[in-house]
Amino acid sequence: MRNRVIPAIVAIVAAIALVPVLGGVAEAAPKTTVKLGDNFFKPAKRAIRRGTKVRFQWIGHNPHNVTRTRGPGRRFVSRTTSRRGVNFAKRFKKRGTYRLICTIHPTEMRLTLRVR
């Protein structure tokens, strides 16, 4: 009986010791927020890590959208809305420099997003 108890205790101790190590592997993907005010992005420039999810939060009263004009990958356009809150989110998986605008205010609302 004694020969079976010791290996079982060793296995339990080893499993408990691995919990912190394995917990770091399942780390949540990074997130960041960009605000859309009345005719501005805040911040207007941002650098993020590849895989970061960017949440776009409307804080103004005017209708806005988020549109990729340049950068890696396919073009995307959010819906146009004046509803406050997070109305669009996008995970940036490809490295490079993205140029984003609001098509309603293209000369005023510009965002440069660098993904490294």
Residues 6 or more apart from 75 whose CB is under 8 A from it?
Answer: 67, 68, 69
What is the per-residue pLDDT for 57?
98
pLDDT confidence of 50, banded at 50, 70, 90?
Answer: very high
CA-based diameter of the chain, in Å? Answer: 79
In a domain, 96, yes or no: yes
Q: Can you give the residue range of the structural domain that contains 86?
A: 31-115
In a domain, 22, yes or no: no
pLDDT in tens, 27-42: 677 999 999 999 999 9
Average pLDDT of span 77-102: 97
Res. 76: pLDDT tops 70: yes
Residues 6 or more apart from 38 whose CB is under 8 A from it?
Answer: 60, 61, 62
Structure tokens at 90: 């996008």
Res. 49: pLDDT tops 60: yes
Residue with tokens 């009345």, as numbered in its chain: 38
How many domains in the chain?
1
In a domain, 52, yes or no: yes
We report the CATH number of the domain holding residue 90 as 2.60.40.420
Are 91 and 68 within 8 A, CB to CB?
no
Please tell me the pTM assigned to this model: 0.74
